[in-house]
A = this chain, B = another copy of it.
Amino acid sequence: MTYCVGMMIDGGTLFMSDTRTNAGLDNISTFRKMRHWEAKGDRVITLMSAGNLATTQAVVSVLDERTKAHDEREPSLMGVPSMFQAARLIADTLRNVIANHNDAGQTASASFNATLIVGGQIKGGPQRLFLIYPEGNFIEACDDTPFFQIGEMKYGRPILVRAYDPAMTFEKAMRLMLVSFDSTLKANLTVGAPFDYHFYRKDSLCLGPSGRIELDDPRFMSISTGWGDALKSALESLPDFDADPE
Contact = CB atoms under 8 A, between A and B. Distances in A.
Interface of A: 154-159, 161-163, 169-172, 174-176, 178-179, 183, 186-187, 209, 218-219, 222-223, 226-228, 230-235, 237-243, 245
Given A154-B155, A154-B187, A187-B157, A222 B237 contact: no
A190 to B, nearest CB: 13
Q: Is the interface of A mostly helix, strand, loop or mixed?
A: helix
Given A175-B238, A179-B238, A235-B175, A209 B243 contact: yes
B226 A237 contact: yes
Contact of A243 (B174, B176, B242): B174
Given A178-B241, A209-B243, A234-B231, A158 B161 contact: no
Given A170-B243, A223-B239, A231-B234, 7 more contacts: A158-B158, A175-B235, A176-B235, A223-B238, A226-B238, A227-B234, A233-B237
28 contacts: A155-B155, A155-B157, A155-B158, A156-B158, A158-B158, A159-B231, A159-B235, A162-B227, A162-B228, A163-B232, A163-B235, A170-B241, A170-B243, A171-B241, A172-B235, A172-B241, A174-B241, A179-B235, A218-B245, A219-B239, A219-B241, A222-B238, A223-B238, A223-B241, A230-B235, A230-B238, A231-B234, A234-B234
Contacts of A239: 175, 219, 222-223, 226
